[in-house]
Structure 1
Amino acid sequence: MKANKNVRFSEDTSAQVGIGTLIIFIAMVLVAAVAAAVLIQTSGVLQQRAQQTGSEATQEVSSNIDIKNIEGIRAANGDELTNTVDMLRLQLGLQSGSSPVDLNQLVVTITDGSSTNTLTYTDGNDPASEFGGENGNLERLQTTDGATDLFAVREIRDEDESFSQENPVMNTGDLVNMYISTASEEANTENHQINIDGEDFPTENSESGLTLDPRTEVGIVMTPEAGAISQASFITPSTYGVTDIVSLYP
C-alpha cells in the first residue's frame, strides 16, 4: 500500500515592474499616438483635396457660354457695300445652371482658315488712349491693334445691373452682344464706314488680317477662365446680296 504524497504547487504572483517594462509601455503609447496623428492629418488633407477637386469639376462643367446667334456686318462707302463681312456681332448668354463668367478673363480665337487672331476684352477706357465714353470700346476696335487683338461687348439684358464695361461679369439670365472685327483690306480704305447699332464707325486703319469672303469657313473658340470652352463653326453664304447685315450662325 502506497503512502499518500502531498503535492504542492508554487504560486508566483510577482510581475515585471522594472524600468525596462515602463520604457516599452511608453514607446507603444507614443507609436500609437504618432500613427493616429498621421492618419488624422492624411484624412484631413484628402478631404480638402476632394472638396477642391469636386468644386473645380463642378465649375468646369457648369460655366458655359451659350452662343445664340452670329451676324455679319459689312462696311460701306456711301451706298457701295464691301464684298466681305467686316464685323461679327455675336449674341451671348449663359447656359442654365452656369456660374458667373468674367469676360475680362475670356480669350477668343477666330480663324478664317488662313489667318488666326487671339482676342481679349476691351472696355475702351484705356487711360493711355483717346478712347472713352459709351462707344469707346467699339472705337477701339477700329484701330490696327484693336482689330487684331481685342473684342468689345455691350449688354442687351442685365436685370440685376451687375454688368458694366469696367466689370464685365455675366450672370445667368444676362444677354450681351460681342463684337469682333473682321475688317478686310477692302474695308481698310478711306471713306469706308461700318454701321453698328445705328452708329457709324470708320474702318480706315482697322484691318484685322482676316478676309471673310463668301464661302469662307470660319471657326470661333471661346475659352473662359474656368469652365468648358464654347465653339462655333460656320461657312459664310455663297453671296451676301445687297444688305449690310448677314445671318451666319446658327
Structure 2
Amino acid sequence: MKITEFLKNKKGASGIGTLIVFIAMVLVAAVAASVLINTSGFLQQKAATTGKESTEQVASGLQVLQIMGSHDNSNITKLAIYVSPNAGSSAIDLSQAVVSLTNGDVKTVCKYDSTKATFKDLEAGGSIFSDSNLNFTALSPTEFGIIVIQDADSSVADATPVINKGDIVAIALHTNATSMEPRTLISGSIQPEFGAPGIISFTTPSTYISTQSVVQLQ
C-alpha cells in the first residue's frame, strides 16, 4: 500500500515539473515572438523609408538645357545656364544647390544668396544679359543668380527658389574669376541637394566676334 502511494505521488511530481517546463517554453516563445514582431515592424518601416529616399535620389535631378554666354571680345564674362528638373523628379530647392566651374587652372564654387538682388523673373520676356534685369557684375565669384523663364505654379520665389515639373530657370554667373578665353575647355556641374547633378561641359569659341556678343556654348 505504501509503495503504491509512493508511486502515485512520484507521477504527480513529474507532471508538475513537465507543466512548469511547458509554461516556461510558452513564455520564452511569446517573448521571442514579441521581439521578432517588433524587429520586423522596425525593419519594414526602415526599408520603406530607405526605398523612398533611394527612389527620390535616383529619379530626381537637374538637366542642363543649354548654356549661353556673353563676351567682351576677349573673354566670356556672363553665363546663363538653363536648367529644368528631370522627368519624374521631386521639387528641387536651388538655394541649396552648388555650382562648380573649372577651366583646368581655377575651380570656382558658387552658392545662391537670397539676401542680395540675385533673382529676376523674366516670364513676361526680356533680355537675359541686360544689367537692368539682373546685375551680373554685382555677383561675386562665389554666388549665382536665378532668372525665372517659366514657372506656371509660381514655385520659384526670391527666398525659396524651388523648381518642379515644367519649370525652367537660368543660373546666372559672372565669370570674372574663371578665365574663358577662346578655345578654353570648361567643365563643372550644378549639384542639387539630392538627385543627379546637371553637367556643364563646353569649349569656348575659337574667336569672339564683336558684332555677336551672345554665343551658345552648350
1:38-77 map, 5 Å: 38-74=35-71
Matched, 1:94 2:85: yes
- Contact 1:111–1:219 (Cα < 8 Å) also in 2: yes
Match of 2:28 in 1: 31
Q: Supply the distance in 2 between the matched residues of 1:170 and 1:56 (Cα, whole angstroms).
A: 19
CA RMSD of superposed structures (Å): 2.6
* Larger Rg over CA atoms: 1
TM-score norm. by structure 1 comes to 0.72
* Amino acid in structure 2 at the alignment position of 1:43: S
Length, aligned pairs only: 200
Equivalence for 1:120: 111
The amino acid that maps onto 2:20 is I
Structure 2 residue matching 1:233: 3-state secondary structure:
strand
Alignment-derived partner of residue 127 in structure 2: none
**Counterparts of 2:201 and 2:58, CA distance in 1:** 21
State which of 153, 157, 161 in structure 2 corresponds to 1:164. 157
Report if the CA contact (8 A) 2:147-2:169 is conserved: yes
- The answer as to 2:189 corresponding to 1:221 is yes
TM-score for both structures, normalised by structure 2: 0.82
| Secondary structure at the counterpart of residue 238 of structure 1 | coil
3-state secondary structure, aligned to 2:205? coil
Please say if 1:142 is aligned against 2:133. Answer: no
Query: SS where residue 147 of structure 1 aligns?
Result: coil
User: Secondary structure at 2:158's aligned position in 1?
Assistant: coil
The residue type paired with residue 94 of structure 1 is P
Instruction: Give me the whole-angstrom Cα distance separating, in 2, the residues matched to 1:136 and 1:49.
Output: 51
Residues 62-82 of structure 1: CA distance to partner in whole angstroms, max 9, x if unpaired?
A: 1121110001112xxxxxx34
2: CA distance, partners of 1:136 / 1:168: 21
Question: Where does the alignment leave 5 or more consecutive residues of structure 1 unmatched?
Answer: 1-11, 75-80, 184-207
What do residues 16-68 of structure 1 show as CA deviations (whole Å, max 9, x unaligned)?
46653443232111100111011111211211121111111111111121110
Q: Out of 203, 208, 211, which is 1:240 matched to?
A: 208
1:163-182 equivalence runs, <5 A? 163-182=156-175
Paired residue secondary structure (1:225): coil
Query: Secondary structure of 2:179's partner?
Result: coil
- 1:205-234 CA-to-partner distances (Å, cap 9, x unmatched) read xxx2x1100000001211111111221211
Q: Taking every aligned residue pair, what percent have the same amino acid on both sides?
A: 39
Is 1:211 paired with 2:179?
yes
1:102 maps to a residue whose letter is D
Structure 2: tracts of 5 or more residues without a match: 1-7, 121-130
Per-residue deviation, residues 144-195 of structure 1 (Å, max 9, x unmatched):
xx42210110111111112111110001000111101112xxxxxxxxxxxx
Amino acid at match of 1:218: I
